Each structure stands twice: as C-alpha cells, then as structure tokens.
C-alpha cells in the first residue's frame, strides 16, 4: 500500500491511532487529560478543564501527522467534535480526513479489519472484485 493510511477511534476518554497496511497495523493511544480534585478526601468526581478537549484533540491531530488519508471512527459525539476541531484548527490534516464513521467499541483487530476494508474498497474502481490467488 503506497499511501500512509491511518484511522483514529476516538471517544471522550482516549483515542486509538492505527497505522494500517495490508500486512500489519501499528497502534498508539492518546488519553484525554483528567483532573483529580484538589481535596482527595472529598467525594467529588474527576472533571475536565474547559481547555482539555482542545489539548486532547491537538495531541491526537499531531499523532496523525504524516498520514495521507485518515478515517475517523467512534461511538458518539467525540468523533464529530474532533472532526470540527480538525476543520478549524488543523489545516494540514483537514484535507486528509476521508471519512467519519460510527463504530461502537470494537477490538483492535476489528478496527484494523474495518479500516483495511474501508481503504481497499475505497481505492478499487467500481465494477472490480478481488480474486484470491
């Protein structure tokens, strides 16, 4: 595969970055920052700082650097928020996002298979089929 194709499965807690080829895939994880309450004895839940999402998305976008094509996956709104961040803030990446798909919580192998199928079928001319040799 000559293109550097990547996918990111993202929710509000973490992003799984996949670099996919026909033979293998490499994965890395970017975790969203979580703030711990200043008074640990209180039962206050962890919360996010208003700028955390922007910093998280920036780090994810940086992790996708060098990709020719990027597929954004996720179960809920985080994938859409990331896409919007890319369109507004990551000028070099915004033209490389080729799709945004809803995918619940797959295993790493399921994501790799999904991404391979997505890119392989997207690159085939219409009317052609793969034939096992």
Whether the full predicted model's pTM is greater than 0.85, yes or no, is no
CATH match of 5-29+53-123 with 3.30.420.60: yes
Angle at 14 between CA 13 and CA 18, to 5 degrees: 160
Crossing angle, helix 78-89 and helix 52-63, to 10 degrees? 80
Instruction: Break the chain into its structural domains and give their ranges.
Output: 5-29+53-123
From first to last of the 133 residues of the chain, give the pLDDT tens digit: 446 889 999 998 999 999 877 676 788 888 887 655 555 555 544 445 667 888 999 999 999 988 889 999 999 899 999 999 999 987 788 889 999 999 888 888 888 888 888 888 755 443 333 333 3
């Amino acid at each position: 595969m000559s293109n550097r194709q990547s996918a990111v499965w993202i929710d509000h807690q973490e992003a799984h970055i996949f670099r996919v080829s026909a033979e293998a895939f490499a994965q890395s994880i970017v975790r969203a920052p979580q703030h711990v309450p200043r008074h640990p004895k209180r039962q206050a839940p962890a919360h996010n700082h208003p700028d955390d999402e922007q910093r998280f998305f920036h780090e994810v976008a940086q992790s996708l650097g060098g990709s020719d094509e990027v597929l954004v996956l996720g179960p809920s709104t985080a994938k859409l928020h990331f896409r919007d961040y890319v369109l507004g803030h990551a000028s070099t990446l915004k033209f490389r996002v080729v799709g945004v798909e809803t995918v619940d919580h797959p295993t790493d192998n399921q994501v790799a298979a999904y991404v391979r199928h997505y890119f392989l079928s997207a690159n085939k001319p219409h009317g052609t089929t793969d034939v096992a040799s």
